[in-house]
């Protein structure tokens, strides 16, 4: 594998601290959400993960469509990240991706999304470790 990009983000203070990228472009305060007993009012790791996954997945969809010469009229991707707590107080994540794609028949849209899921770096990174559900235009994509 050839490295094509690398980035470093430093965290300080955990969920009640801040993050900053080495190039200075990303600088955010963090706050634990109210649901976790925090003050809220700032971003948190789950929001950052959801944002990255949604953006990466949309890029993968556009990449796959372009290489298959498939055109659509509009596309949006939303990613919901759930922080889950087990009975033994362990934490884990689950992800739900919602794709709205207009201008394609159902079969083509689902095939495109399946191929994007197979190529998206975030999907590859969590495969086998984090459950990921996908909906395409409201319908659950079969695993």
| Token duo for residue 16 | 């009640």
DSSP label of 43:
B
DSSP label of 12:
E
| Token duo for residue 9 | 């983000």
Contact of 134 with 117, CB cutoff 8 Å = yes
Domain count, the chain: 2
- The pLDDT value given to residue 54: 98
**Residue pLDDT, tens place only, 87-114:** 888 999 999 999 999 999 999 999 999 9
Q: Residue 28: which domain range?
A: 1-43
What pTM was computed for the model?
0.94
Contact of 10 with 19, CB cutoff 8 Å = yes
- The pLDDT value given to residue 142: 80
Residues 21 and 66 both lie in one domain: no
Q: Taking each helix axis from N to C terminus, what angle separates 106-119 and 45-67, rounded to the nearest 10 degrees?
A: 120
Residues 71 and 85 both lie in one domain: yes
**Residue pLDDT, tens place only, 4-38:** 999 999 999 999 999 999 999 999 999 999 999 99
């Amino acid at each position: 594998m050839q490295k094509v990009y690398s980035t470093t983000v430093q965290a300080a203070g955990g969920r009640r601290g801040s993050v900053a990228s080495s190039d200075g472009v990303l600088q955010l305060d963090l706050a634990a959400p109210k649901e976790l007993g925090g003050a809220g009012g700032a971003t948190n790791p789950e929001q950052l993960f959801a944002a990255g996954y949604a953006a990466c997945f949309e890029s993968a969809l556009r990449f796959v469509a372009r290489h298959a010469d498939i055109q659509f009229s509009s596309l949006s991707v939303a990613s919901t990240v759930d922080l889950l707590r087990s009975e033994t107080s362990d934490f884990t994540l689950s992800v739900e991706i919602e794709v709205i794609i207009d201008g394609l028949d159902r079969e083509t849209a689902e095939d495109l999304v399946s191929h994007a899921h197979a190529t998206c770096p975030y999907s590859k990174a969590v495969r086998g470790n984090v459950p990921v559900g996908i909906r395409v235009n409201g319908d659950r994509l079969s695993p």
